[in-house]
Every structure is written in structure tokens, then in C-alpha cells.
Amino acid sequence: MTEAGSSFDLASYCLAPGAPDDAALAVVEADGGAITLDRAALRAAVNRLARALACRAGKGERVVLRMANQVAMATAFLATARAGLVAVPVSPQLRRPEVEAILEDADASLIVTLTADDPVLTGLQVPVVQPDDLEGTAALPVVGADDPALLIFTSGTSGRAKGVLHGHHTVLGRRPIRDAWLGIGPGDRVLHAGTLNWTYTLGVGLMDPLAAGATAVLAGADVEPGAWPTLIADHGITVFAAVPTVYRRMLKYGDPSVLRTGPLRHGVTAGEALSPHLWQAWRDATGLELYEALGMTEISTYVSSGPGTPTRPGSAGKAQPGRRIAILDAATHRPLDAAGETGLLAVHRSDPGLMLGYWRRPDEEAAVMFGEWFAGGDLAHLDEDGYVYFHGRDDDVLNALGVRTSPLEIERVLAEHPAVNEVAVTTTANAEGVELITAFVVPAADVDDSDLLAFASHRLAAYKLPKRVVRVDGLPRTANGKVQRRQLRIDGG
């Protein structure tokens, strides 16, 4: 990678733009105030901590970061990269067995946290330290673009979390994200609703704003769903990022009309499919665009709409400029030529945003590499203009009565019914053990099953219609808002 040269690290790349007194990082507190660091202060904090970390761990060793959205978390992430270490961000919500599994798999050398008496970390064999207690001024190693920088553990099809390893060059692969999807530059203030243990937030909420010379804004405390519009307006946010669920709850519990006259230019969303109904409701309420993107931990977002790519309801957008994508036949793994054919969505392995590989999982890595293409299991088709339509995961496809069906397709249709607030579709077994398509619905109003299915029948083939409708108070989700379909059960089942 000639652009990076012999020495390159993602932290220095992100911290380079901007004047010393430009605002770099802001963390909004529960009382509405914010802790803000300018570029000079953030650079100094990162360099100090990097030299201190280099006294405790050597180049390439893994450092677990267990903190919430705080200045210390952002600083520690950048400092590990600057020190040539590999950051392993984990959620503060993980319980001890989950943390122990990651520590063992990552073979971590250090845990950085702000909570000295965290019971989850008490008695572990791996040293636990706090950033302010670290001292030392070790020389920093020479780091290259292809050196490992980030190890993210994500849900695997085997039921065990697997590590996705990224190199420092991943930040170069984020240029199309900043330009084509976010559309940001100096002077912007980008707020992400997620947490920094998630790649979506680490990228869009931290690395992208910093690398663009903008200000990265994070929520340091839980935000009530209805409070987001006011927070966005009060803190001069120009681009807001979240999962669709956050936008849905903003519309339900908040007053998004306050955003019509503020500096917000648009919202962006990823992590789950954006329904055409929600997209239109957001536009009607705010007068602003909502740009969707499709991605995965292995490459972040690489398909999107954006300021230069008009949104098409039901589509995540087009391949970002500079990206090479293809639809592969699920059986032969060869690119399909015809538009409209559904297959595995693949990205070219030359993309700098692509992972280095799965951590110590050579068999699983081999299962997603097909010649010059990487395909992580997403099913999609392209239309004649290159817009991508997502059909769910290859390992998330329903198999009911011998017919394979995408749950996302069914969910998108049911979600457009005015009496449906949220919906998730999976299969459940009846008394005979037959798997039946089942819709778990969070209702917004009373509706008969027959009316709901009649509504869906105008958009779905008969074999795709749910055989069961179950009303629930809420859907099980991860800490970052993704629906956990496998946790959906019928009482007694």
C-alpha cells in the first residue's frame, strides 16, 4: 500500500487533520452538558497513554478495552493503535463467562477499564489497569498499514463469538464511507447513538469524523428515546447515526419536528434493514433525508445511499465509489451476470477496508473467501441500476415446509401495517415438530390476525405468509439494537 508508506497507524491518520484548537471529541453527559477536547488535547492524551501502554505490552499484543462511551474509551482505543497494540473493545454489559471466553481466545495481555472494583474482572489472570494509573514513556514502535490494529468479537454461526481482525489500513477503506454515505468534512458535528465497543460506532462515531476534520460526538449516558431530537438540536449536530430502531422510537416518543430548523442535514442508518414506511415517516416528520447503508464487521459499510446516491425505498443503496461488488451464485460461487438474481453479496478482496481475517479461525475464514471475492453470508440482488436489495443472511434464511424464505422480506411488509409498531419473523415448531413461519408483533393498535395477513397477502406469495402471529411487549435485542430472532419463542415452546 504505497500511500501508507513504511510507517502508518490509524490513530495518527485520524488525528492529523484540523487545527490544534478545533473541537475533536465531545461526550454529552446526562445533564445535557458535554466534555469537549480540542485536537491538541486529544493528540496529547493519546500520545501520553500510548507511551504508557507500550511500557506494559509489546507490539501486536491484545489489549481489552472495557469502558462505556467516555473520553477515556476513545483515547484508549486510539492509544492502543498508536502504540502498535491491538485493541479489543468489549461491552461493559458482558458477564464474566463472556469476558473470560474473549480473554482466552484473544490471548489478551491487559485489560483497561475505569471501574477498579468491577466484579466481572475481579480475580482474573490478566492484569486490570485504569488509564490514569498508567505511567511511562516507552518509545513507540514502527507500525505499518498491514499490521493488526483492531480485534472485534462478533456473533458466529457456531454459537461462539469469533474475532474479526482488522489492520491499520482499514481506516483508508473508510474514505468512501465518509464521502459517499456520511458526506462530512471540517466543521461537521457527527453524533452516533451507539457504543464504542461496536464497529459501527467506532467507525462512524469516532474514526470517520476525526479523519474528516469534524467533531465526533458521543452520548456518555443512556438517552431516553424521545430525548434524541432535542439533544441533536441543542448540540448543533449536523449528521446523526443510529440503527432504524432509534429512529422509530424518536418518531414515537419525541418531537422530531424540532430538527426542521436546526443544523442537521440528514440521518444515516445501518445495522438492520430500514423499512420504506420508517424512511417515509422520518422524511415527513423532519423534512430531512435518511440514508441507509449495508455492511458487516468484516468490512464495515460498503453499500449505501447518500448525498450523491438518491435513496430507493427497500434498497440499501449502491456500492460506494471505489468498491467492487458482485452477486455470487450460492452453489458455484461464481458472479451472476443478470440483474434481479439473488445470491451471495460479495466484495473484492483488494478492498482496504476488508478484514485481515478471522482470529485463529482458518476454517471459517476459508469458508468466506472465494477466489478474488469475500462473501460473508448476506443474500441480495442488484437491479439494473446497481442498487442492492438485501434478502437477509444466508444462515438466517427460514426453512419452513421445505421452502427457504428471508425473514426480512416478510418483516418489511408487515412493518408497513399501521397497527404494527415492530415485528420480527422466525420459525417455530408446532406440536408435530413442523417449522412454521411465525411473526412476533409489537402492536401499535388492535388488529385481527386475519386483517394483518390479508394486508400482507397483497405483497407476499402465500408460502411466505406467517402461519402464526404472536403479540409481544418488545423484541429481544443486543445492546446495539439488533433483533435476536433466535431468542423468540412461543410460551411453552
Burial of 341 (0-12, 13-18, 19+ CB in 10 A): exposed
- Beta pairing partners, 420: 443
| Residue found by looking up cell 489500513 in the block | 169
Judged against a pLDDT cut of 70, whether residue 399 lies above it is answered with no
Mean of pLDDT over the chain: 91
Report how far apart, in Å, the C-alpha atoms of 243 and of each of 267, 290, 293 are: 10, 11, 10
Q: Using an 8 Å Cβ cutoff, are 57 and 82 in contact?
A: no
Report how far apart, in Å, the C-alpha atoms of 278 and of each of 182, 253, 420, 441 are: 19, 14, 12, 16
CA dihedral 269, 182, 90, 13 (to 10 degrees): 170
Largest CA distance in the chain: 70
Please give the full DSSP string across 30-99, using - where no structure is assigned: TTS-EEEEEHHHHHHHHHHHHHHHTTTS-TT-EEEEE--SSHHHHHHHHHHHHTT-EEEE--TT--HHHH
Separation of alpha carbons 277 and 17, rounded Å: 39
pLDDT one-digit tens code per residue, 272-299: 788 888 899 999 999 999 999 999 899 9
Which residue from 441, 191, 151, 487 is spatially nearest to 298, judged by alpha carbons?
Answer: 151
> In the chain, pLDDT over 70 holds for what percent of residues?
95
Q: Is the pTM for the entire model greater than 0.95?
A: no
- Which residues are CB-neighbours of 25 under 8 A, at least 6 positions away? 36, 37, 42, 71, 74, 206, 210, 215, 216, 217, 218
Report how far apart, in Å, the C-alpha atoms of 348 and of each of 62, 166, 392 are: 28, 16, 20
Please give the full DSSP string across 246-261, using - where no structure is assigned: HHHHHHHHS-GGGGGG
| Higher pLDDT pick, 117 / 400 | 117
Q: Using an 8 Å Cβ cutoff, are 319 and 388 in contact?
A: yes
Task: Report pLDDT for 1.
Answer: 40
Task: Report pLDDT for 213.
Answer: 98
